[in-house]
Amino acid sequence: AYRSARIAPLRYAARDARAFARLAADPEVCGFARDDIRLLADDRASRRDLVRGLSRWLPERSAGADLALVYFAGHGVVERVGGREEGYLIPHDADPDDIAGGAVAM
């Protein structure tokens, strides 16, 4: 779910993320420990929470690991920044008029 009505809703993104988290924890599929899985869906997927998760939580939890897995079910966009194109993940609270300032650069 997106805060702005100008960003098209995605009917199954949160459901897909929850299903993926279950598969990641399933010992017969991926076998990640439940404490090593963080699910951010709908209003919990704010820019602040995404950035905090990717810049703090993930590096701390994956220190020394052979594999870290990030799954994102949501909109993305490519914007021209300066002379190059930059990809962004669109969080719940993104402002469609300020993608560079409110989205998460890939």
Contact (Cβ atoms closer than 8 angstroms) between residue 77 and residue 88 = yes
Please tell me the predicted confidence (pLDDT) of residue 3: 96
Q: Average pLDDT per run of 10 along the chain, which is 106 residues long?
A: 95 97 97 96 96 97 95 95 93 95 94
pTM of the model: 0.88
Please tell me the predicted confidence (pLDDT) of residue 54: 96
Please tell me the predicted confidence (pLDDT) of residue 88: 97
Please tell me the predicted confidence (pLDDT) of residue 81: 84
Coil, helix or strand at residue 84: strand
Q: List C-alpha distances in Å: 91 to 29, 40, 71.
A: 28, 10, 13
H-only helix segments in the chain: 13-25, 47-52, 58-62, 99-102
Please tell me the predicted confidence (pLDDT) of residue 30: 95
